Structure 1
Amino acid sequence: MELSIDLHTHTIASGHAYSTLRENVAWARARGLRIIGTSDHAMAMAGVENNAVFDNYRAVPRVLDGVVVLCGVEANIVDVDGTIDIHPDRKKLDYAIVSLHKQCFTPSSKEENTDAVINACKHPQVKIVGHPDDARFPLDYERLSDFIVERDLFCELNNSSLKKNGPRIGAEENLRVLLGLGKEKNMKIIVGSDAHMDVDVGNFDLAKALIDELNYPEDLIVNTWETDRILHAFELMEK
C-alpha cells in the first residue's frame, strides 16, 4: 500500500517546528510523495504571533519541484462551542485540520470534548479531524465516527501520536477503538506525519503498521487516492 500524500506538516511558522516549507517539500520529493500539505498552527498556539502567514499563501506555487502543494492550517479548538483560532471562511485556505491541544483547550468531560470537536467541524473549511486519540481528551468515538461519516470528513491517523514518548498519551489503544468503528461505518481516514522537521515528512511507519494489522480498507485511506480524486475531495479542481 502506497501512502503518497502528507497533509499534516509544520514549518518554522508554527513557532516550535524546525524547517522551512522548501525544506519540507524537498524531503517530500525525496520520499516520493505526490502531494504535501503545509498546515501550521494558528495563533492560539504559543509561539504563533498572528495569522498573517495564511494571508499570503498566494505566494506559494501549486507545484514545487514536481510535488503538489496544498496550503492549509491546523486550527486550534479553544472552547466547547468549537471556536477555532482562525476565521473559518478564509478563502485562501485549501483545507483546515481541527485539533485539541492542551496549550489551547482545557480538557473536559467526554461529552463536552466531543461537542467541541463536532462544533469545530461545522466550519466550512474543515475537512480533517486532527489526532482524536489523546487520552487526556476523552471522546465519544461512536458519536464522533457517526458525525465524521455523515459529514464526509476525514479522520486523521497521526503517526506522531504512536511514537514512544510522543506528544499524546493512550493513542494506540484509542485508535484501535476508533478504527474498529471506522471499519464498520466506512469512515475515511487520512494518515498524517505531523512532522515538525523535514526529516519526518511522509514518515508513516507506525501508522501503516497499525492499519495493516487492522486490515483497514485501502479505498477508505485517503493517502492512497489518485491526485485528481484528492483535489476533487478538497474542492480544488478549479482553484
Structure 2
Amino acid sequence: MKFIADLHVHTVASGHAYSTVLEIAQATAAKNELKMIALTDHGTKMPGGPHSYHFANLVAIPERVSGIRILKGIEANLIDLKGTLDLEKQYLERLDVVAAGLHAFCCPVGSSKDNTTMIVNAIKSGSVDIIVHPGNPEFLIDEAAVVEAATKFDVALEINNCSLTAARLGSEAHCHHIIQLAKVAKTKLIVGSDSHFAETVGDFGAAAEILSDHGIPEEQVLNTSIERLLSHLNRRKNRNHLVTF
C-alpha cells in the first residue's frame, strides 16, 4: 500500500513536539515518498498547546514548503459529552483538516458509554474529518457504535501508527477489531503517523501491516490517493474554502 499523505503531524506549537514546520517539510521532502502533510497541532485545552490565534494565523504558512503541499489543520480535543471541540467554529471553518479525539488532561476519562457518546456526537456535528486513535485503551468505547456512526456520517477513522509502536500501549487488539468492523461496513480509514519529530513523518509500517493482515483494499484508505483524500475533505460543508492539491 502506497501512501501519498500524512494527516497527523505535530510541530513545536503542540508544546510536546520537537520540530518546526520547515524542519518537517524538509525531512518529508528528503524521503521522497509523500506529496502532502497536514499540520495537526493540538487544540487549546492541551497543556502547553497553542492559543486559538495560532490556528487563525496558519494562513501565514505557504501552501508548499520544500515542494510538499502543506494542509492546515488541528487535532482538536473533545471536551464534553456533547462532543464539543476546543476551537471556535470561526477558526475551524478556515482549516483544511479537522481531526479530533479523546486526550487525557482535556476531558474526563469516562465510562465506555460516555466516551462513545463524546465521539459519536463529534462525528454527528459535521465539524470533523477524522477521528484519531479510536483504539486508545485509556478511553474505551463501543467500537461497533463508533464505526456505525463514522460510516453513516462519512467521517474517517484513523489507524494510528504511534499507538502501535510507542504510545497508548494496548491499542493493537482494539485497532484489529475496529478494522474488522470497518471492513464490513466499508468505513473510510486513514493512516496517521502521529509524528512528534520530523524524522517520523510518514512512518506507517505497523499500521499498514495490520491493514494488510485484514485485507483492507487500498481504495478504503483515504491517504493512498490525492483524489479520494481531497474529495473527503471537501465534503465538509462548514469549511469556507475548497481544499486543493
The TM tier, using the shorter chain, reads over 0.9
SS at match of 2:98: strand
2:237 corresponds to: none
Distance 1:128 1:162 in 2: 18
- Give the TM-score of the pair, scaled to structure 1: 0.94
1:196 corresponds to: 196
What pairs with 1:47-196 in structure 2 (closer than 5 Å)? Answer: 47-90=48-91, 91-163=93-165, 166-196=166-196
SS at match of 2:129: strand
Cα-to-partner distance string for 1:97-135 (whole Å, 9 max, x where unaligned): 111011212211111100001112234331000100111
CA contact (8 A) 1:88 1:124 kept: no
* Amino acid paired to 1:94: D
* Amino acid paired to 1:201: V
SS at match of 2:40: strand
% identical aligned pairs: 35
1:167 Cα deviation (Å)? 2.3
In the alignment, structure 2 segments of 5+ residues that lack a partner are: 235-241
Structure 2 residue 20 is the aligned partner of structure 1 residue 27? no
CA contact (8 A) 2:83 2:117 kept: yes
1:221 Cα deviation (Å)? 0.6
Change in Cα spacing, 1:228 to 1:237, as seen in structure 2 (3 Å) is: farther
SS at match of 1:228: helix
CA contact (8 A) 1:57 1:92 kept: no
Q: Number of matched residues?
A: 236
Distance 1:140 1:88 in 2: 28
Structure 2 residue 233 is the aligned partner of structure 1 residue 231? no
CA contact (8 A) 1:29 1:67 kept: yes
Structure 1 runs (4+) deviating above 4 angstroms are: none
In the alignment, structure 1 segments of 5+ residues that lack a partner are: none
1:72 Cα deviation (Å)? 0.3
SS at match of 1:96: strand
Distance 2:38 2:50 in 1: 21
CA contact (8 A) 2:14 2:50 kept: no
CA contact (8 A) 1:94 1:125 kept: no
* Amino acid paired to 1:229: R
1:9 corresponds to: 9
Distance 2:14 2:117 in 1: 26
What is the alpha-carbon root mean square deviation over aligned residues? 1.5
